[in-house]
Amino acid sequence: MSTTTTLPPLPPIGRSVRAYFAPVDRVHKTPTLFDPSVNGRFSVNTPPAPWISLGWIENFARKSASKFGDLVTGTPGATQMQVRATVDATVAFRFKTWTKLSMALAAGSQHMNLLVPAAGGAANGSGSKGVPPVNLATGSTAAFLALSATDAATFSAGSLVTVDVDYASTTGFVGSGVYAAYVSSAAAVNSDPDYIRRVSFNVARVASVSTGSTPGLQLAQPLLAGVPAAGMRVQPLSGFVDREGGSFFQEWSALFVVDGQQGERILYHYPRLQSMAGPAEESSALAPPLERLALGASFRALPVTDANDGETVVCFRSFLPSPMTLI
């Protein structure tokens, strides 16, 4: 016989919120769904694939923006029933760290890589023409880029690289691993073969360079798109740039986790989030004049259909009670 001692329900006391994001398949309009009945108790440091941890966030604020209508009958009028006129919700928070992903999520529009410039390129706000990319050799993995010894020698440990295919005059969503932009016409991007590498999320820092028997770049972090596909090439970058403006909307699946102090867990799952604000920073004073700069982010939740009952919803809130409390 299995028995347990129970306690009355206790108020959840959270310490902070962890954020996880996963790409949305924009072509097939398929978000990444998180199933709390399967993975609800995952370790916060090792989220289930394809979720990517973006660490602790702060100032997490959810807001329901759904509107309700009422049906009034009789004299004097009395509300007899309500209808849900619109389903809408927003969520806002601050990213504590700046990374390619957190910047892109916060900026909302195309997020660009600053390609290391070629000599003599015309100045441009989002970076000028980059140095030529180098080809991958066979034997690459998600964390190792096989190159010729000559090409490998052009990189140094600690440098940053973007790894993606050449732009080939196609239109539609582009970018490996995550759709990073939408190209409406080849002319709009000057038919630039580097355009996809300029917006790609498939970026990493180089941990070491080998030019010996197995020449290539050992990456300090695996590529988001996994093992490089045929046709991908490598180009160095120096940083990132986002812009106020742009026509593209990033769309992500999001998961937020609050662990209570008694073992309970609250999960907020937004299958589709699109940014509803441009890039902005918010500062927190450390010791004057030092300030910590956080990335402000706010999103609108877009709908999905719950397969259990066909309802249109924008967010799922799950509660996994502590092991000892009555429910």
Partner 1 sequence: MQNAKDTFYLALRNRLATVNPARTMTLRSVTRPGILVEDAEPFMPLPQLDAFTLCWSGLVADLHLPGILAQMSCEIRYTTAGTQPNAGLDRGRALEKMDDELLRLLYPYSEQKMNYTQTPAAAMGTLVFWSEPAFSPAAMDHDRLSRIATVTVFAFQEANEA
Q: In the bound complex, what is the minimum distance in angstroms from residue 170's beta carbon to partner 1? A: 37
Residue 93 C-beta: closest distance to partner 1, Å: 13
Which CB atom, from 18 or from 272, has the smaller least distance to partner 1? 18
Residue 8, helix vs strand vs coil = coil
Q: Positive or negative, the Cα torsion across 87, 93, 97, 100?
A: positive
Q: Would you say 37 or 45 has its CB closer to partner 1?
A: 45
Helix (H) or strand (E) holding 107, with range, is helix 100-107
Counting residues that bind partner 1 (by CB under 8 A) gives: 12
Using the minimum distance from each CB to partner 1, give the nearer residue, 89 or 258.
258
Residue with tokens 């080849």: 186
Q: How far is the CB of 39 from partner 1 (least distance, A)?
A: 22
Specify burial of residue 176 (Cβ count, 10 A radius: 0-12, 13-18, 19+): buried
Residue span binding partner 1 (CB under 8 A) among the ranges 52-60, 185-193, 215-223, 231-239: 52-60
Does the protein bind partner 1 through residue 122 (CB under 8 A)? Answer: no
Output phi, psi for 203, to 5 deg: -125, 160
CB of 174 to partner 1, least distance (A): 30
Quote the least distance from Cβ 307 to partner 1, whole Å. 35
Map the footprint of partner 1 across residues 271-300, applying CB under 8 A: 286-290
Beta bridge partners of 237: 115, 160
Contact flag: residue 56 with partner 1 (CB under 8 A): yes
First to last CA, the chain: 21
Considering only CA atoms, give the Rg of the chain.
24
Judged by CB under 8 A, does residue 96 bind partner 1? Answer: yes
| DSSP string over 167-201 | P-S--EEE-SSS--EEES-TGGGTT-TTHHHHH-S
Compute the least distance from the CB of residue 43 to partner 1, in Å.
Answer: 16
Closest to partner 1 by CB, 163 vs 204, is 204
Token pair of 102 as six digits: 């957190």
- If the CB atoms of residues 149 and 207 are measured against partner 1, the closer one turns out to be 207
Measured from the CB of residue 55, what is the shortest distance to partner 1 in angstroms?
A: 6
Residue with Cβ nearer partner 1 (125 or 289): 289
| Cβ burial 71-108 (10 Å sphere, 16+ → b, else e) | eeeeeeeeeeeeeeeebebbbebbbbeebbbbbbbbbb
Question: How remote is the C-alpha of 198 from its chain's centroid?
Answer: 17
Select from 48, 50, 55, 303 the one that contacts partner 1 (CB under 8 A).
Answer: 55
Stretch 191-210 residues interacting with partner 1 (CB under 8 A): none
Strand ranges inside 24-88, DSSP E: 52-64, 67-73, 78-86
Least CB distance to partner 1 at residue 58 (A): 8
Q: Which is nearer to partner 1, 152 or 203 (CB)?
A: 203
Chain-centroid distance of CA 221 in Å reads 16
Return the number of the residue (103 or 302) whose C-beta is nearest partner 1: 103
| Contacting positions for partner 1 (CB under 8 A) | 15-16, 55-56, 58, 96-97, 286-290
